[in-house]
Amino acid sequence: AEEKCFLCDSRYPYNPYTQHNSHMVENVITTFEPKRRKKWWQSENGIDHTFRPAAMLVERSTDFGQTWKVFRYFAHDCAASFPNISSGPAKSVGDVVCDSRYSDIEPSTEGEVLSSVCLYEFKSFVELKVVLKALDPIFEIENPYVPYIQDLITLTNLRINFTKLHTLGDALLGRRHSDPLEKYYYAIYEMVVQGSCFCNGHASQCDSMQNLRGDVFHQSGM
C-alpha cells in the first residue's frame, strides 16, 4: 500500500474542508465513556520500536495553548540542533538548557532520560523514560509562592516537539528514489502528567469544566 504521510497543523480545530490536516489533542484519545478508548494516535502497522529522538524539546503553556515556553531541550548535538541554547548545567531554577546526555542512538532500548515534586513523565517505544521536574531540587527555594516560582510550576497544556531523527546515515545517501526519512518514526507509548489544582491546597476536588477553578470546601479545624 502507498504510504500517506503528511505534516499535521494543529493551530486550528479539525475541519474536513478547510483544516483537514489538523490533529489536536482531542483526536488522540477520547476521555469520556463509553467510547473512551476509541481514538488514539497510531504509527505505521508493524512498527513497534524506534530510536530515541536525536533532538526534541518539551514545551508548556499557561494560557490553554495560546503561547508556549520551552521547559527543556534535549539533543545528541546541542550546538547543532539548538545553537542559541546553553548546554551547560542550569545555574538557577528557571534556566532553560539543552541536555545531551540522553539523546544518543544507543542504547536503543531501555534508555532513560532523567531531569530534575515529578511533573511530566512519558515513555517512547524504546523504553525511553523522561522525567521532568518543575523545580530542580538542587536549588533552594526560599519562597515557593512568589509569582516567578508559581509561573514555573503552573501549566494548562504540555507538548513534546520532536525536531530531529536518528537516521543511521541514510540521509547522507541522497534522495534519488525516495526520502530516507520516511523510514523512520517518532513514537511515545505512555505519558503521565502529575500535578494538582490551582487552589492553593484548599480544594476538595477539581472542577474541570471551569478551567482554573477549584471547588473549595472549608471545615472548622482544617
- Give the CATH number, domain containing residue 194: 2.60.120.260
Within-domain flag for 196: yes
Q: Are residues 146 and 191 in the same domain?
A: yes
Does residue 163 sit within a domain? Answer: yes
Residue 221 within a domain: no
What DSSP string describes 59-75?
Answer: EEESSTTSS-EEEEEEE
- Are both 5 and 72 inside the same structural domain? no
Are 95 and 121 part of one and the same domain? yes
- Residue 103 C-alpha cell reads as 539523546
- Residue 62 within any structural domain of the chain: yes
Q: How many domains does the chain have?
A: 2
pLDDT above 60 for 125? no
Please compute the mean of the pLDDT values over residues 19-23 and round it to a whole number: 80
Asked if residue 55 lies in contact with residue 79, where contact means CB atoms within 8 angstroms, the answer is: no
Is there a contact between 21 and 6 (Cβ–Cβ < 8 Å)?
yes
Q: What is the mean pLDDT of residues 161-189?
A: 67
Q: Confirm if 99 and 115 have CB atoms less than 8 A apart.
A: yes
For residues 81 and 124, which has the higher predicted lDDT (pLDDT)?
Answer: 81
Instruction: Tell me if the pTM is above 0.75.
Output: no
Residues 145 and 154 sit within 8 Å (Cβ to Cβ): no
User: Residue 214 and residue 199: Cα distance in Å, rounded?
Assistant: 5
Does 98 share its domain with 19? no
By residue range, what is the domain housing residue 202?
48-216
Q: Is residue 109 part of a domain?
A: yes
Q: Please check whether residues 17 and 92 belong to one and the same domain.
A: no
Are 54 and 75 in a shared domain?
yes
Within-domain flag for 222: no
Long-range contacts of 143-147 (CB under 8 A, 24+ apart): none
Residues 149 and 132 in one domain: yes
Please check whether residues 70 and 173 belong to one and the same domain.
Answer: yes
Are residue 135 and residue 25 in the same domain, yes or no?
no
- Is 30 within a domain? yes
**CA–CA gap between residue 179 and residue 131 (Å, rounded):** 33
d(CA 71, CA 60): 6
pLDDT exceeding 70 applies to what percent of the chain?
51
- Same-domain check for residues 88 and 196: yes
* Whether the Cβ atoms of residue 101 and residue 130 lie closer than 8 Å to each other: no
pLDDT at 25 over 80: no
Structure confidence at residue 118 as a pLDDT band (50, 70, 90): very low
Residue 15 has pLDDT above 60, yes or no: yes
C-alpha distance across the termini of the chain, in Å: 64
The pLDDT score that the predictor gives to residue 222 is: 32
Which cell goes with 66?
A: 495560546
- What length is written for the chain? 222
The DSSP code for 81 is H
